[in-house]
């Protein structure tokens, strides 16, 4: 049976379905069954993210990297970030450790996937995450700008065979070699952006040595780095030790397949002390409180979900059915609520804004995120 896991948002009250703890993730939970997440308002509020438990191992290795080199003011690049599971994990780990003193750039080169990434970052709510959609080579102009780069690179996908028949159909020895070559190009392109002494967290969802251990060894030799020895921490939970990393195989761990290793840069690197990431035309960075229209401040829809929300608006607490109706974009009426802009919440968790006109409400919830399934 394919397991279902979530990772709680520690900055939104850690509300979500009950489950068994994921050994390598402080907020990971493995669920006994898969609920209908679409019908849980807490999911739409960013209280938790649905993520495979094996994929959470990247966050574990990232936190070990923070132990080694992290400091306030840290800059991190999540290079292949969509749909956002790893980025939200990194953001939570950074905020727990440094408060506001960090920047996470979450990048996805595929434009359609970058929009999904941007939505998921908005729902998670961390204003210190910048979303970009550029080729990895674009980061080379920011020499030495990042303390840690996480590269969960495209791969041949053996770790997804159990749940993705298309991955099985596309697999071939030739494809493995093509993927390994592409991964080398990605690492070489982004390498100048990692500072001297910085750490690369490299991961795939395949079992192929050519894409995993061999590529990390290549990066150490050709790009200039020292492989950080992997720890044999969770053998009782099915996590294997390989030459240079940790391997999680579907059927041996609760989740799907994942391989993770880490490399510390030893090569000299120029330093871009004040990188201007605005040159990358970010899709998202921070959340404005709103925009002025006709002398009135119209709140930004995502401001309600942001950890930077300052509580300026009256709160309307919704029942479960009302929350689903709001997310479904059904008409709602709150005759006793204050006129004007109100924040609507479920169990204290903000969902968005409405403009209360008394006999009707205008919803500010983004149309692209509305629930389409039957909510009755």
Q: Which residues are catalytic?
A: 205
- Per the rule left: phi > 0, alpha: psi between -120 and 50, beta: everything else, 224 is left
For CA atoms 306, 308, 312, 314, the dihedral sign is positive
Name residue, tokens 């479960």.
Answer: 320
Specify which residues 194 forms β-bridges with.
146
For CA atoms 72, 78, 84, 85, the dihedral sign is negative
CB 38 within 8 A of CB 25: no
Name residue, tokens 């970052």.
Answer: 121
**Helices (runs of H) and strands (runs of E) counted in the chain:** 8, 20
Residues contacting residue 293 through CB under 8 Å, at least 6 positions apart: none
Q: How far apart are CA 267 and CA 196, in angstroms?
A: 6
Residue 144 in tokens:
């030495």
Q: How far apart are CA 17 and CA 34, in angstroms?
A: 10
Q: How far apart are CA 124 and CA 9, in angstroms?
A: 8
Q: How far apart are CA 28 and CA 332, in angstroms?
A: 35
Tell how strand 129-132 and strand 194-204 pair up: unpaired
């Amino acid at each position: 049976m394919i397991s279902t896991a979530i990772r709680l948002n520690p900055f939104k009250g850690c509300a979500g379905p009950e489950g068994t703890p994921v050994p390598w993730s402080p907020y990971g939970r493995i669920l006994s069954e898969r609920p209908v997440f679409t019908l849980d308002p807490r999911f739409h509020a960013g209280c938790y993210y649905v993520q495979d438990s094996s994929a959470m191992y990247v966050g574990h290795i990232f936190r070990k990297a923070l132990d080694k080199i992290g400091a306030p003011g840290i800059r991190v690049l999540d290079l292949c970030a969509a749909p956002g599971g790893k980025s939200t994990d990194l953001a939570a780990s950074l905020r727990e450790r440094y408060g506001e003193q960090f920047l996470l750039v979450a990048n996805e080169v595929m434009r359609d996937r970058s929009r999904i990434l941007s939505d998921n970052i908005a729902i998670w709510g961390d204003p210190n995450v910048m979303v970009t959609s550029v080729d990895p080579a674009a980061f080379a102009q920011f020499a030495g700008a990042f303390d840690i780069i996480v590269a969960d690179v495209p791969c041949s996908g053996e770790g997804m065979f159990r749940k993705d028949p298309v991955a099985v159909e596309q697999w071939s020895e030739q494809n493995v070699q093509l993927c390994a070559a592409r991964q080398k190009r990605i690492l070489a392109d982004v390498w100048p952006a990692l500072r001297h002494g910085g750490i690369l967290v490299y991961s795939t969802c395949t079992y192929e040595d050519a894409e995993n251990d061999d590529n990390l060894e290549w990066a150490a030799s050709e790009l200039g780095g020292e492989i950080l020895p992997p720890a044999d921490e969770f053998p009782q939970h099915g996590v294997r030790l390989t030459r240079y990393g940790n391997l999680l195989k579907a059927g041996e761990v609760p989740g799907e397949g994942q391989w993770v290793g880490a490399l510390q840069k030893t090569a000299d690197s120029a330093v871009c002390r004040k990188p201007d990431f605005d040159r990358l035309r970010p899709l998202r960075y921070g959340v404005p409180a709103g925009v002025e229209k006709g002398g009135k401040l119209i709140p930004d829809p995502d401001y309600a979900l942001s950890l930077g929300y300052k509580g300026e608006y009256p709160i309307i607490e919704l029942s479960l059915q009302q929350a689903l109706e709001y997310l479904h974009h059904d008409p709602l009426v709150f005759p006793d609520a204050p006129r004007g802009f109100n924040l609507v919440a479920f169990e204290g968790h903000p969902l968005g804004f409405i403009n209360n006109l008394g006999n009707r409400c205008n919803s500010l919830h983004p149309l692209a995120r509305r629930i389409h399934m039957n909510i009755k």
